[in-house]
């Protein structure tokens, strides 16, 4: 009887220990994922979404035209080359150091603009914010894949969701601060929010596997079983990488080209300024839904089919934009806006998951840095190319038709070139 009671007590103790260990693991994973989510929300929500609320007050105070205001947004993207710097620094200094440095740069850039008066000063400070943003966000996908090797695609998608959730929160908050305090004090508050939020996120960023921050090691077998390896080889798959790069150019030129011209396109379609504002804001909401859907897709659908389908949908979206006008069916512009938002959020996780599966595990962080540089270059070129084409022809139809055809061709090449071993089911 005594032995039976001792055995029963030991079993109960073991069960409690297992449950306690499971709760601790879930806490660590939730904290780490939440920290990565918060980093993206701060970097992109404050740097991109929120800053759009300052353009009109700046134009009213300084009398600047659209060229100067557009330059303030472009200066933010000119920091793209620092993606490579951040990618190569990840294994040397660790993600916490990069997040802290990037957050400090972005916060100081926002704070510095409260004292600026000349366009050149604003350009330099926006560039500083862009460098900070790039340093913060570049290591996030690689870190998510390392820390969550069983569900890397879903983890990456959740972190990207933070970018758009940050926009949903920071944009209206910035608008309220500008209306209540004026743009200079509002920028000071945005700077303080970035600084405080970065401190919280850095405190949350701990490898849930209990390893050091800079430790890039992960079980190769576990990672490759999730698709992170190259089926027993470390060779680069040149054909697949080439198609991913070409697809990135077509996809993101279509996305940003349409997004950058969405307001005048809808105005040409007869929408009022209030309706245009509501439709443009719905892009961020659709992006949140899209990024979460993409996270599930990366875990359950072959990369070949998810990537080609995403490219094909972008082609359909830009083709649909050519139909928007006073004579178009009522549902067409709404469908274009919903598709654009969904793809704006959903494209990133699918593209990045395909890249992750095409490169050796230890090269993913650096490969992502180079891919992100290409992505930002296409994002910067898209609005300018579409706008210049419209100024020359007086219509969006030719340029959107060309981009749509490019997306369709990229979808066909993707289906033919991306390896079958990249399937999520493999």
| E strand or H helix at 42 | helix 2-44
Coil vs helix vs strand at 273: helix
- 179: number of CA atoms within 13 Å, CB side? 7
CA 143 to chain centre: 14
Q: What is the pLDDT along the chain (426 residues), one digit of tens a residue?
A: 554 555 555 566 566 666 666 777 777 888 888 999 999 899 988 888 788 778 778 888 888 775 677 677 778 878 888 988 998 898 889 899 999 999 999 999 999 999 998 989 999 999 999 999 999 999 998 898 888 888 888 888 888 888 888 878 888 888 889 889 999 999 999 999 999 999 999 999 887 766 554 444 443 334 434 444 444 344 457 888 999 999 999 999 998 888 877 777 887 788 776 677 677 777 778 888 898 888 888 888 888 899 999 999 999 999 999 888 777 788 888 898 899 989 988 898 899 989 988 888 888 888 888 998 999 888 878 877 888 888 788 888 999 999 999 999 999 999 988 865 444 333
The token pair that represents 78 in the structure block: 């000119």
Distance CA 126, CA 119 (A): 10
Contact 201, 99 (CB under 8 A): yes
Contact 77, 376 (CB under 8 A): yes
Domain boundaries of the chain, sorted by first residue: 33-218, 236-416
- Looking at residue 10, its pLDDT comes to 56
CA 309 to each of CA 245, 247, 321, 358: distance values in angstroms, whole numbers, following the listed order: 16, 12, 18, 18
Distance CA 154, CA 295 (A): 4
Distance CA 91, CA 368 (A): 13
**CATH architecture of the region 236-416:** Up-down Bundle (1.20)
- Looking at residue 17, its pLDDT comes to 65
Task: Give this prediction's pTM.
Answer: 0.76
Distance CA 131, CA 226 (A): 32
Identical fold for domains 33-218 and 236-416, yes or no, is yes
- Looking at residue 408, its pLDDT comes to 96
Distance CA 239, CA 258 (A): 29
Say if domain 33-218 classifies as CATH 3.30.70.360: no
Distance CA 371, CA 246 (A): 11
User: 347, 144, 367: which is closest to 240 by C-alpha?
Assistant: 367
């Amino acid at each position: 009887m005594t032995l039976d009671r001792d055995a029963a007590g030991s079993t109960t103790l073991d069960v409690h220990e297992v449950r306690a260990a499971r709760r601790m693991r879930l806490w660590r994973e939730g904290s780490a994922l939440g920290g990565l989510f918060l980093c993206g929300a701060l970097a992109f929500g404050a740097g991109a979404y929120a800053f759009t609320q300052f353009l009109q007050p700046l134009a009213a105070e300084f009398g600047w035209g659209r060229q100067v205001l557009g330059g303030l947004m472009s200066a933010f993207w000119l920091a793209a080359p620092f993606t490579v710097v951040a990618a190569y620094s990840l294994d040397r200094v660790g993600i916490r150091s990069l997040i802290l440095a990037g957050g400090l740069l972005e916060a100081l850039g926002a704070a510095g603009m409260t004292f600026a008066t000349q366009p050149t000063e604003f350009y330099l400070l926006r560039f500083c914010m862009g460098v900070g943003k790039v340093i913060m966000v570049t290591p996030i996908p690689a870190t998510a894949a390392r820390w969550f090797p069983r569900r890397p695609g879903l983890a990456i998608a959740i972190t990207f969701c933070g970018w758009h959730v940050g926009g949903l929160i920071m944009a209206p908050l910035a608008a309220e601060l500008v209306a209540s305090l004026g743009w200079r004090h509002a920028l000071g508050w945005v700077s303080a929010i970035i600084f405080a939020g970065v401190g919280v996120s850095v405190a949350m960023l701990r490898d849930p596997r209990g390893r050091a921050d800079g430790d890039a090691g992960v079980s190769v077998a576990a990672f490759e079983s999730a698709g992170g390896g190259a089926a027993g080889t470390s060779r680069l798959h040149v054909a697949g990488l080439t198609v991913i790069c070409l697809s990135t150019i077509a996809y993101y030129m279509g996305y940003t080209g349409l997004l950058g011209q969405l307001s005048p396109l809808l105005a040409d379609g007869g929408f009022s300024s209030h309706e245009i504002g509501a439709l443009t804001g719905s892009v961020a909401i659709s992006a949140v839904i899209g990024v979460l859907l993409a996270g599930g897709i990366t875990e359950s659908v072959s990369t070949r089919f998810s990537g080609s389908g995403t490219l094909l949908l972008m082609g359909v979206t830009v083709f649909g934009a050519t139909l928007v006008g006073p004579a178009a069916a009522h549902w067409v512009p709404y469908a274009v806006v919903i598709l654009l938002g969904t793809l704006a959020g959903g494209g990133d996780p699918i593209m990045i998951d395909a890249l992750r599966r095409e490169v050796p595990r230890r090269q993913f962080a650096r490969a992502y840095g180079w891919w992100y540089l290409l992505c930002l270059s296409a994002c910067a070129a898209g609005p300018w190319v579409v706008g210049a084409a419209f100024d020359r022809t007086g219509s969006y139809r030719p340029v959107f038709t060309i981009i749509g055809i490019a997306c369709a061709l990229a979808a066909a090449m993707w289906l033919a070139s991306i390896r079958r071993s990249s399937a999520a089911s493999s």
